[in-house]
Amino acid sequence: MRIAVVDDEKNSRQELIRLIREISPQSEVYEAGSGVQAMQLLEKKTFDFLFIDIRLGDMEGTTVASLARRLMPNAKIIFATAYSEYAVTAFELQANDYILKPYDPARIRQILSQVSSCFPEQEELRIAISSNQRHTLLLDLNEITYIESHGSGKRCIIHTLSGDEYSDNTALGVYEERLRNRRFYRIHKTCLVHLKYVQDIFPWSGSDFALRVRGSAAELPIGRDRLKGLRANLHI
């Protein structure tokens, strides 16, 4: 389970992170000390749920929560703050819960238990990539924005939200079949994209179209025979 803690008060942020790690040591915990840092984090990572302080130093935590809700509609948002008067605002934003500072360990345990129960049998969405016989990397599917064929077509380059790229000795067609039910769509003979990260579609060359994915400036051409299917999969 992946968790984000957003709080501009360092001591408060570290205390909550400590409690989370004690209660749920298997979870990945990320932190942001400002609204700007939180925005940057949300652009690079996806989360199962987020603890967000409503009053950050540079912006309202509700702004961060609104972005998180748009980018990750299934994420659980927990407002963590010393200001009880924000409870109504929290639930107007469809927050899943609301906790007050100073933190009660029993309350944190209760929240983590409730949220964890939403993922009891969730399949581990990772793929194994290998650039050689001695090194295999397990990569989270939620980190992948697109996969493109490389060279003769028997190898691929895997692109991620963080901007990292990985070379893999697997043909694109194999990935297409493997990820068919994981919201990946082949937009061109050379490219397979993660639909959740499609940012915009635009005229590209003549009557053709291309698209961009979140976290990348690359213009990815869309095959003419693939455009209709892409629009259908994006419900546009």
Q: Please name every residue paired with 98 in a beta bridge, in sequence order, or none if there are none.
A: 79
* All structural domains of the chain: 2-116 (3.40.50.2300), 126-234 (2.40.50.1020)
- For CA atoms 165, 167, 170, 172, the dihedral sign is positive
pTM listed for this prediction: 0.54
2 close to 46: Cβ distance less than 8 angstroms: yes
Continuous segment of H or E residues that includes residue 119 = none
Q: What does the pLDDT look like over 155-211, one tens digit per residue?
A: 899 999 989 999 988 889 989 988 877 889 999 999 999 998 999 999 998 889 999
Find where tokens 């590209």 sit: 204
Angle at 162 between CA 33 and CA 194, to 5 degrees: 120
